[in-house]
Amino acid sequence: MIRILHRLIAVTGKYKGRIRASYLTSFIKGIMMKMPLFISFFVIQTLMENAMTGEKCLMFGIIIVGSVILEAVLEHITNVLQSATGYMVFADLRLRLGDHLRKLPMGYFTEGNIGKISSVLATDMIFIEENCMGVLSELVSFIISQALMILMMFFLDFRLGLLSLAVTCAFIVVGNLMLGVTLKHSAIKQENSESLTEEILDFAEGIGIIKSFNMLGERSKRLTDEFEKNCKESIDFEIAYSPWARAQYLTYGIGTSMVLALAGFLFSSGAMPATYMIGVVLFLFDLFVAIKNYYGQMARLTVTDASLNRIEEVFEAKELADTGNEQLGSRDESGSTPEIEYKDVSFGYTDKDVLKNVSFKVGKGEMTALVGPSGGGKSTIASLLARFWDVKSGQILVRGKDIRNVPIGNLMDQISMVFQRVYLFQDTIYNNIAISRPGATREEVEDAARKARCYDFIMELPEGFDTVIGEGGASLSGGEKQRISIARCILKDAPIVILDEATASIDADNERAIQEAISELCKDKTLLVIAHRLKTIKDADQILVISDGEIVERGDHTSLMGLHGTYANMVSLQAS
């Protein structure tokens, strides 16, 4: 348990001092909690000895009232030092997590970690923040309270003190065995929670496809199975936990009875005066409450251990190195230095290479198209330019500089990307466009929308540019979302554009508007285009045919058609 507490304190970082200061206030608060009880004993003793005076009565009253007021003040200070600090700690931790996530390679998000991230943010951090940070001071108070009660028993009679100490030790043994069970099941419960979150996200995001293929029953069963698995683990946890919880209550009941029986025996045998017997009765039902509450809180802390494991696991994911200090200069107007150059680039998501020794150059203002069968590596080539991942070997140069030596922020300032699958945030259309250049004026945002051929349909919406769209752009058509994404890139006005054929899955009515929008975007830009419709790349300066991670053909449209090879066959197949 000390290990868990150390882990919790380690998370607090720069706020450790506040947490440690709360131990002192908790220590004093623990004493103040028992002060009214102790003073009550001395009041009874004084009354029975007929020694009570007005001055003593006033003194006892002042001490009791003062201890209650001081306890309340210390409770407030402790909450400020600890519970409030917990919220500040996790506010900082969420910001750190956001900063960490943006530095991770895209592969981390495509390897099934979305459920883990969601669980960390929505479950683990909230649980620790709301349930555990305020527990630290309570644990100190419980320990102090229990120690004081045992000392009071020793004051009344050393035999009562020894028995109370023995019962407390029994409590500790039972409590630690209970916590061992709780720790084991907490880890399983947190894993099940992550698995359930992933299944819920998968079901919600794929509901359209699930309905269209009439798979609601099958997919619902998978989701139901996850709920049942979660339910079963919760029941198993209760079954495993309950015997130890009952053992704690039995220890509490038997221990209290034994202390009362011993006090009764000592009193009846004349070994203990009546005032002390009354003191035993006064203290008895509060004697083991502190240790019982201590283990009740520690049971909650065991979930913290599993939660901290998952939080640390996300933070331990390896970030893309961003230590470069070279800045990309202005574009080479002479054309002697390629705008983009791939030198013997190899890459693999796992041990298997996806790209093998890929080399090509793209001059300033030129268009290079990547074509080939699905899974050949076209999208990977484009993603490596934006440093979604780092190359396994070789180099990618922009204006003669290895992109690994350039700060990612500086690199991304030079690149705009239009993907086939568009994501819009649940925000106004204006903010969805302006996200590419937050300092842009309203007029510049609207001008970008006009060039992207989306101004007219935006103005037909209820609130125009201030219309809030659904998450992922659910309230817009595919073509409308695509044009808004192009407006983003037009507003950014980056010199390099990566274009994953934006019209591949768009209807004919939208295709013309999108082609016009793309034409506006691509003026005077260096283009890397992933092509699905070959008719859109006939005028490309260079066409690269990618198959099994290698460039199998390269040239312009005319020269490649003359080869009568892979490219010519693809054009023929599409034409037919």
Token representation of residue 394? 């070789």
Q: Per residue in 247-266, pLDDT tens?
A: 888 988 899 999 999 999 99
pTM higher than the cut 0.75: no
Of 91-105, 136-150, 218-232, 519-533, the least confident: 218-232
What is the rounded CA–CA span in Å between residue 475 and residue 169? 64
User: Do residue 428 and residue 494 come from a single domain?
Assistant: yes
What is the rounded CA–CA span in Å between residue 467 and residue 428? 5
331 domain residue, yes or no: no
Contact between 203 and 223 under an 8 Å Cβ cutoff? The reply is yes
- CA 460: distance to chain centroid? 38
Tracing tokens 């419960």 back to the chain, one arrives at: 189
Of 76-90, 384-398, 509-523, the least confident: 509-523
Residues 6+ apart with CB under 8 A from 343: 359, 394, 395, 396, 397
Buried b (16+ CB within 10 A) or exposed e, 488-506: bbbbbebbbbbbbbbbeeb
Q: Which long-range contacts (CB under 8 A, 24 or more apart) does 401-406 make?
A: 401/326, 401/328, 404/321, 404/324, 405/324, 405/325, 405/326, 406/324, 406/326, 406/327, 406/328
Q: Give the pLDDT score at 167.
A: 92
Q: What is the CATH number of the domain that holds 192?
A: 1.20.1560.10
What is the rounded CA–CA span in Å between residue 84 and residue 90? 10
What is the rounded CA–CA span in Å between residue 352 and residue 368? 26
Residues 6+ apart with CB under 8 A from 332: 339, 364, 399, 400
Q: Give the pLDDT score at 116.
A: 78
What is the rounded CA–CA span in Å between residue 161 and residue 148? 11
User: Do residue 353 and residue 303 come from a single domain?
Assistant: no
Q: Per residue in 20-33, pLDDT tens?
A: 788 788 888 878 88
User: Do residue 452 and residue 564 come from a single domain?
Assistant: yes
Identify the DSSP state of 206.
Answer: T
User: Do residue 277 and residue 410 come from a single domain?
Assistant: no
Query: Of all helices (H) and strands (E), which one includes residue 50?
Result: none
CA proximity to 289, closest of 8, 560, 30, 501: 30
Query: Of all helices (H) and strands (E), which one includes residue 277?
Result: helix 274-284
Q: pLDDT tier at 222 (50, 70, 90 boundaries)?
A: confident
Tracing tokens 């479950």 back to the chain, one arrives at: 123
pLDDT (average), residues 197-209: 68
Contact between 32 and 67 under an 8 Å Cβ cutoff? The reply is yes
160 domain residue, yes or no: yes
The residues facing 362 across adjacent strands are: 340
Token representation of residue 362? 């793209």
pLDDT at 168 over 60: yes
155 domain residue, yes or no: yes
What is the rounded CA–CA span in Å between residue 196 and residue 188? 12
Of 60-69, 252-261, 327-336, 483-492, the least confident: 327-336
User: Do residue 299 and residue 404 come from a single domain?
Assistant: no
User: Do residue 169 and residue 305 come from a single domain?
Assistant: yes
What type of residue sits at position 43? V
Token representation of residue 37? 């009880």
User: Do residue 291 and residue 400 come from a single domain?
Assistant: no
Ramachandran category for residue 476: left, alpha or beta (phi over 0 → left; psi -120 to 50 → alpha): beta
Q: Give the pLDDT score at 342.
A: 93
Q: Per residue in 340-353, pLDDT tens?
A: 999 999 988 766 78
210 domain residue, yes or no: yes
Q: What is the domain extent for residue 178?
A: 16-315
Residues 6+ apart with CB under 8 A from 244: 174, 177, 178, 181
The residues facing 428 across adjacent strands are: 468
Q: Give the pLDDT score at 511.
A: 65
Q: Give the pLDDT score at 141.
A: 77
Cβ neighbours of 551 (radius 10 Å): 21
CA proximity to 362, closest of 332, 342, 382: 342
User: Do residue 211 and residue 75 come from a single domain?
Assistant: yes
CA proximity to 448, closest of 462, 464, 430: 430
Token representation of residue 499? 């274009």
Of 211-220, 328-337, 357-366, 560-569, the least confident: 211-220
Token representation of residue 128? 């620790």
pLDDT at 165 over 90: yes
User: Do residue 345 and residue 310 come from a single domain?
Assistant: no
Query: Of all helices (H) and strands (E), which one includes residue 168?
Result: helix 158-205
326 domain residue, yes or no: no
Q: Give the pLDDT score at 161.
A: 92
Give the chain's length. Answer: 576
What is the rounded CA–CA span in Å between residue 164 and residue 146? 10
pLDDT at 207 over 70: no
Q: What is the CATH number of the domain that holds 423?
A: 3.40.50.300
pLDDT (average), residues 368-381: 86
User: Do residue 543 and residue 488 come from a single domain?
Assistant: yes
Largest CA distance in the chain: 120
pLDDT at 163 over 90: yes
User: Do residue 158 and residue 114 come from a single domain?
Assistant: yes
201 domain residue, yes or no: yes
CA proximity to 144, closest of 88, 208, 78: 78
443 domain residue, yes or no: yes
- DSSP 3-state assignment of 337? coil
Specify which of 79-93, 108-122, 434-448 reaches the highest per-range mean pLDDT: 434-448
CA 76 → CA 31, 79, 84, 486, distances in Å? 16, 5, 10, 54
519 domain residue, yes or no: yes
Helix 16-48, helix 135-156: angle, nearest 10: 30
Contact between 545 and 560 under an 8 Å Cβ cutoff? The reply is yes
Q: Give the pLDDT score at 62.
A: 92
Mean pLDDT of the chain: 82
CA 8 → CA 89, 104, 135, 294, 309, distances in Å? 11, 25, 11, 17, 11
pLDDT at 145 over 70: yes
Residues 6+ apart with CB under 8 A from 31: 144, 148
What is the rounded CA–CA span in Å between residue 240 and residue 230? 15
Of 67-71, 88-92, 305-309, 412-416, the least confident: 305-309
pLDDT (average), residues 259-275: 90
Contact between 513 and 479 under an 8 Å Cβ cutoff? The reply is yes
**Percent of residues, the chain, with pLDDT higher than 90:** 10
User: Do residue 506 and residue 544 come from a single domain?
Assistant: yes
Q: pLDDT tier at 506 (50, 70, 90 boundaries)?
A: low
| Domain count within the chain | 2
